[in-house]
Amino acid sequence: MGKKIILTGDRPTGRLHVGHYVGSLRRRVELQNSGGFDDIFIMIADAQALTDNAEHPEKVRQNIAQVALDYISCGLDPEKSCLFIQSQVPELTELSFYYMNLVTVSRLQRNPTVKAEIQMRNFETSIPVGFFTYPISQAADITAFRATTVPVGEDQEPMIEQTREIVRKFNSVYGHTLTEPEILLPDNAACLRLPGTDGKAKMSKSLGNCIYLSDSEEEIKSKVMMMFTDPDHLKVSDPGKTEGNPVFTYLDAFCTQAHIEEFAPEYGSLEEMKEHYRRGGLGDMKVKRLLNSVLQTTLAPIRARRTELEKDISYIRDVLKKGSEKAEETAAKTLADVKRAMKINYFEEGSEF
C-alpha cells in the first residue's frame, strides 16, 4: 500500500473566512485527527498570492501570520501537520519550470477558474504571466509532496485536473516518477462554494463579502443582519425561496440538529423551518437570528484560541520555520527524482556523464 499524503493550502491575501472553514479547513482538521494519513502538508501560498499582488508585498507578508493563526485556532496541530510557507521551498519553483514544458497555452486558457478570476480582477489584456501559469505552480506544490489527497473547495477542481494531466504526461514521457492526486471535496453541497454575504457566487477575500473566523461577536452579528436573502420575500406572510438564499445556504453548511434543538426548538429540523419559510409566515429576521446563534457558537472557541495565540507570534514564526525546513527536505527528494527522470542529473553521484 502506498502512503496517504495530504497537501492543501491557502493564499495569504487576508484572514481566513467561513468559506475556507467549511470548504477545506474543517475537513483538514478531521483528517488530521483521524490518524489515517502518513503525512499532512499545509501550505501558505505566498508565491501564488504574489502572482496577482506583485505590487502589494506588505499585504502578503502581513497575512502569513494571520493565516497561520487561523490554522492553529481551528485545530491544525503543528505536531501532526507540517505548516509551511511556499516561497521558502525553492524546489517548487524549479519543478514548475520543468512542468511548464508539458502544458500548452490554450490548455491554460480553458481553465474555468482562472477565466473567472481574470474577469473578477479586471485584468483584461494585462494578465501577469505568473498569474496565468499558477495552475502549473499548483501542480508543482501538489506533486512535490507526492500528495494523494487534496481537500479543497469546488473552485479548485480544474487545478487538480490540470495537475493530474501533468503527472500523466510527465510519467509517460520520462517514466513513472510522480503521484497522481485525488481531489477531496466537501460532502455537503452547501460547502462546495459558500456564497458571499452579498449573495455573490463565492465568498472570497478579494471580494470583501466575507465573515472572517476572527470577526468579533458584533461584526458577525451585523454581517448576518445585513445579509442578502430572497429579494421577493418582502412581507413575512410572503412565500420565500430557500434555494439560492444565502442565509439558508449558510444554515445548511453550519447548522446541526443540536443547534435546532438549542436555538429553534419549535422546529423538529432545519428542513421543517425551510418548509415554513417556503409556505410564508416566517420572517427573515428570525432566520437570521438563528444563523447568528449558530455562527456565534461555532466561532467563539476559535476566536478565543486565536486571542491566546496572538500573544506569542514568535511561536507562530518558529512553527512555520521548522515546517518550511521539513517541507524543503521532502520537496528536494522529489526534485532529485524528477531531474534524474529528465536526465538532467549530470553531477549526481553514480550517474555517468
The reply on whether position 152 binds ligand ATP by CB under 6 A is yes
The reply on whether position 155 binds ligand ATP by CB under 6 A is yes
The reply on whether position 246 binds ligand ATP by CB under 6 A is no
Longest CA span, the chain: 82
Name the residue number minimizing CB distance to ligand ATP: 23
CA separation for the pair 262, 294 (Å, rounded): 10
The reply on whether position 13 binds ligand ATP by CB under 6 A is yes
The count of residues interacting with ligand ATP (CB under 6 A) is 18
DSSP bridge partners of 43: 9, 84
Q: Quote the cell numbers at residue 317.
A: 514564526
* Nearer to ligand ATP (CB atom), residue 193 or residue 274: 193
Residue of the chain from 43, 72, 203, 287 that contacts ligand ATP (CB under 6 A): 203
CA separation for the pair 64, 71 (Å, rounded): 11
Residue 207 beta carbon to ligand ATP: minimum distance, rounded to whole angstroms: 7
Q: Quote the cell numbers at residue 301.
A: 472557541
The reply on whether position 28 binds ligand ATP by CB under 6 A is no
Place of cell 507540517: 82
- Of 269, 289, 276, whose CA–CA distance to 239 is shortest? 276
The reply on whether position 91 binds ligand ATP by CB under 6 A is no
The reply on whether position 24 binds ligand ATP by CB under 6 A is yes
CA 347 to chain centre: 39
CA separation for the pair 330, 239 (Å, rounded): 57
The reply on whether position 193 binds ligand ATP by CB under 6 A is yes
* Nearer to ligand ATP (CB atom), residue 99 or residue 131: 131
* Nearer to ligand ATP (CB atom), residue 19 or residue 78: 19
DSSP 206: G
Residue of the chain from 19, 181, 246, 323 that contacts ligand ATP (CB under 6 A): 19
Residue 336 beta carbon to ligand ATP: minimum distance, rounded to whole angstroms: 29
CA separation for the pair 303, 296 (Å, rounded): 10
CA separation for the pair 279, 144 (Å, rounded): 53
**Would you say how long the chain is, in residues?**
353
The reply on whether position 223 binds ligand ATP by CB under 6 A is no
The reply on whether position 70 binds ligand ATP by CB under 6 A is no
What does the binding site for ligand ATP look like in residue numbers (CB under 6 A)? 10-11, 13, 19-20, 23-24, 152-153, 155-156, 193-194, 202-206
